[in-house]
Amino acid sequence: MADDEEAEDEPAVELGSGASVEGAPVARVASRLKYPQQKSRVLELEGDSEIRTPEGPRTLADVLEEDDTTYFDTRQSFVDAVQGVVGDGPVATE
């Protein structure tokens, strides 16, 4: 029983001491939405959210402004649209 209590006191994963990463992962924003979803509704709900990009954080509204998609039928179509604009690479840190 004592072993269980000690395990709860320690973090499950060691956190690094490096620079923090600004913005939320696009997957986190995508998971907060229900699909299908119109682009206008996504902007209304999450447009001011900052997402992580290889060039640094950007608002979702700025990213989606560069994409012509008006309707996201699945979560993957939303993620693909965002990644089509920002790319898929290492995320910049401070």
- The pLDDT of residue 51: 95
Contact 42, 60 (CB under 8 A): yes
Alpha helices (H) in 10-92, listed in sequence order = 26-31, 39-46, 60-65, 75-86
pLDDT at 34 over 70: yes
Contact 55, 62 (CB under 8 A): no
Averaged pLDDT, 54-62:
94
Percent above pLDDT 70 for the chain: 79
Averaged pLDDT, 13-34:
84
pLDDT at 66 over 80: yes
Residue 21 CB contacts under 8 Å (≥ 6 apart), including other chains: 52, 91, 92, 93
Cα 15 to Cα 32: distance, rounded to the nearest angstrom: 25
pTM of the model: 0.77
- The pLDDT of residue 4: 55
